[in-house]
Structure 1
Amino acid sequence: MDTRFESFEALGFTDGVLPSECPSRIVLNHVTSTWGVLVLVALARSDLRWGELRRTVQGISEKMLAQTLRTLEKDGFVLRTAQPTVPPRVDYSLTTRGRQVTEHLLPLMGWIADNADDILSGAPPAPAAPLGFDTGHGSVSGDYREGNEDSLYASAWSAFVADGVGGHAAGEIASATVAIRLASMLDATEGRVPGEERLRELVAIANSDLALRVRMDPALSGMATTLVGVFSDGERIAVAHTGDSRAYRLRDGVLAQITEDDSLVRELLATGAIGEGDVASHPLRSVVTHVLGGDAEDAAALHVASEPARRGDRWLLTSDGLTDYVPILDVTETLAAAATPQEAADALVALALLHQARDNISVVVADVVELAEAPVYRPTFGGSAASDPASARTL
C-alpha cells in the first residue's frame, strides 16, 4: 500500500516545515487525544447517552468526559440532543463531519489493536518487504522507420532500454545482442543485481559480445547501442546508462531527469559554445559521445548511480524517439495520469506517434512496489530483442 501523499502542503507543510501556528494542530489535538479518539469510536457504533458513554469508554472521569464532549461538539464532530422526556435525557451522536473523521480513525485503531501486544512487549518490527518493480512497456518502429533498432527488457527487479545507434551498421543487432546477453546473465538471479560492481561486470560482458559478433561477421563492424536501466537489490535502485537514452523518475507529481545524455550537444552546452535553447534544433543533436560498441573503454564509461528505493516512485526508461518529439510537460502529465505502468507505456507510445516521431519509440515504465513474496520470474522483451529466438527463454 502506498502511504505517501500527493501534496504534503495539504497536511500543513510550509516550505518543508510544520509551522507552530498551523490550525490543523488544534484540530489534531482534539481528535487524536486519547479520550477524543475513544469517544468518537464509541459513537461510531451507535448513539449513546452520558451514562452509556462512561460505561463504554472505561476509565474516563465525569470531568474529562464533559470536557471532551464539549470540545468535539464545538468542533462539529458530535451532536448533543436533549430529549423532551421525564426524567430529562441527552443523547450524543456523530455529525456528518464526525462520521467522516471516524472513517479515517477506525483503520488506525484497527492497526493499533493488531499490533499493540508486539509494540508494548518490545518485539522488533517485521522486516520491510523488498522493493522491486511493477512494469509496463512498449516498443514500435514508428511511422517513419521500416525496422526497429531498439530493444528492451523488464522484470520484477530490473529493466532496461537499448537503442541501436542510428547511422551505424546493424543497430538492431547491437541492441538485441546486449539486451539478450544481459538478460541471460540476469536469469541466474531472476533479475536481481547485488551491487554496482556486479552490474558493471554484466554490462562489460554484454559489451564484449558485440566485439565477438564483429569478429565472427566483419560486416557488423561499427554497430553500437545506448543503454539505460534500473536495477533493484530490494533496498536501493542502481541507474546505469550510456548514450542518450534516458531515465526519469516521477515522485510526488514531479518528473526529474536522472541521467544526463552522453551527446555532443551536451558537451557544447557545458563549454558554453551553445545555449540551452539551441539543443533541440542543433544539427548534431543526435551525435552521441559514449555507447556500447565492443571496446573495453565503452563499458568503462558506463555511468552508474544509486539511491534508496522509494515505494510509489514511477520510473521511465526511454529511447530518444519519445523525448526528442514530445514536450516533457506532456510526458509528465501522461505518466502521472495513468493508473498502471502498462497504461502509461501505451499512452506514451501513442503520444509519440501523435507527435509524428521520426524514430523508433521504446519505453519501460516501472513502478516501485513492495514484493512481499518472491515474484515469479517472467522477463519480457520488446523491440528487436523480442524478435530474436533467444528471448523466448526456452533455451
Structure 2
Amino acid sequence: MFGRLGSLWSTARGRALVVVPILLVAIWLSFRITAATVFARSNPALALAIDSSNSWAAERQATLISGEATPEAARRAAALAKRALRESPLSAEAAATLGTAETILRPDTPPLAAFQYSQMLTRRLALTQIWFIEYGVSQANIPIALQAYDRLFRTADVYRKQFLPTLLQASAESEVTRGMTKVLATRPPWTGDYFGGLLATFPGPVNFVRLVEAMRFDVQNPDEAGRLALAIGRLIDSGRPDLALHLYARATHVRTASIPLLREGAFERLGRLPPIDWELADNEQLRAELGTNEAGQPALNLVNRGGRVGAFARQLLFLVPGRYRLQYATGGVTGDVADRPKVLLTCFAAGTPLSATSVPTAPSRGRNVMINFSVPAQGCSSQWLVLEAGNPIDTVAGDQWIGNINLVRVNHD
C-alpha cells in the first residue's frame, strides 16, 4: 500500500514540475499583455518597453512622435505605425499616423493612400478628416474639402467650434457656396450651428439666400420658421427686401406675383415670417395681440402702458407704382391727436413718407376709416406699413383695437 502511495506521489510531483513553470510563464505573459494594454494610452513608451509587440502602444507612440513634426521623429513614427498595422491591420489611427509621418518626410507627395485606407476603416477619425480638408483645399477640390468638413462636424461638437469659423469665412466664395448647397441639402446635424454663424458672418445677400434655401427649412415647423424669419430679417437689414420676398415665396410655396398686397389684415391669425407677415410688439408697456372687438370679430388689441412711443405692429409691403386705398376698422380710441395711434406708410429705401395719419377717435363698437395714398415710380419698390403708438400721458387699459385692414389698388396706369 505504501509503495503505491509513493508511486502516486512521485507521479504528481513530476507533473507539478512540468505544469508550474508553464503556469508561471502564462502568468507573466498575461501580466505583460495586461500592463502593456493599461499603459498603451497613458504611457505608450513604457507599454512598449513591457511588450514591444503591443500594437495599441505602437500606434499611440507613433501618433505622439509624429506631433514633433521633425524628419527624425517622422521616421520613428512611420516605423511604429507600420509595426502597429502589421499587428493590427484594422487600425485607422495607425494608418493616419503613417500618413502624417509621410507628409513630413515627403511634403511634395500627398500620402493619399494611407489616409484613404484610414477613412475606409472609419469616417470618425478627426485626424483623417482634417487632412482631407487640407488636401482638398490644396488641390482646389472643394467637394473633397466640404465632405471632410461634414464628416468632421459629425464626429464631435468640439470640432464644430474649432473649424466652423473657417468654413463660414470660406462660404463668401461663390464656388464654396455652390458646394455647400449640396452638403446642406442632406440636412446634416450641424445645420443649426452653421445657420447661426451665417447670420453673423453674412457672406453677401446672394450667397446667403442660396445657402438658406439649401437648408430647406419647413415653415410649418415652429423652430425652422423662426430661422426663416431671422433670415428674412437679415436680408431686409442688408438692404435687400427683394431677396427677402424671394425667400418668403420659396418658403411659403407661393409665386411672388400671387402674394397678397397685405397679409392677414383680418387678424384671424398671424403668418410665421415677419416682417413680411405682421411683426407685433410684445413687451409689458407696449403690446399688440390678437383678440376680438366688442362685436366678437377678430381684431388687433393695442395696449400702451406708461406712454411709450414705438410700433405696435409693422409689415413690409411690395406695392408697384400707382394709387392705393387702405381701409380699416378701429374702436376704443380716445384722446388728443398726439395721444392716439398712427398709421404710417413710408418708402423702405429712402424713408419717404407716403401717408401719416392719426387713428380717429372711435367708440368701442368701432368705425371704418379710409386712407388714399400713392407709390411713386422711382425709389419705392417696397414700403413699410406701421401701426405706431401715440404718446398718452395716462395709462391706456388696452381697449383700443384695429382690424379688418384691406388694401387695394385703385388704378392700373
Q: Which has the larger radius of gyration?
A: 2
Would you tell me which structure has more helix in proportion to its own residues?
Answer: 2
Would you tell me which structure has more strand in proportion to its own residues?
Answer: 1
TM-score, normalising length: structure 2: 0.22
TM-score, normalising length: structure 1: 0.22
- Tell me which of the two structures has the higher relative contact order, counting C-alpha pairs closer than 8 angstroms and 6 or more residues apart: 1
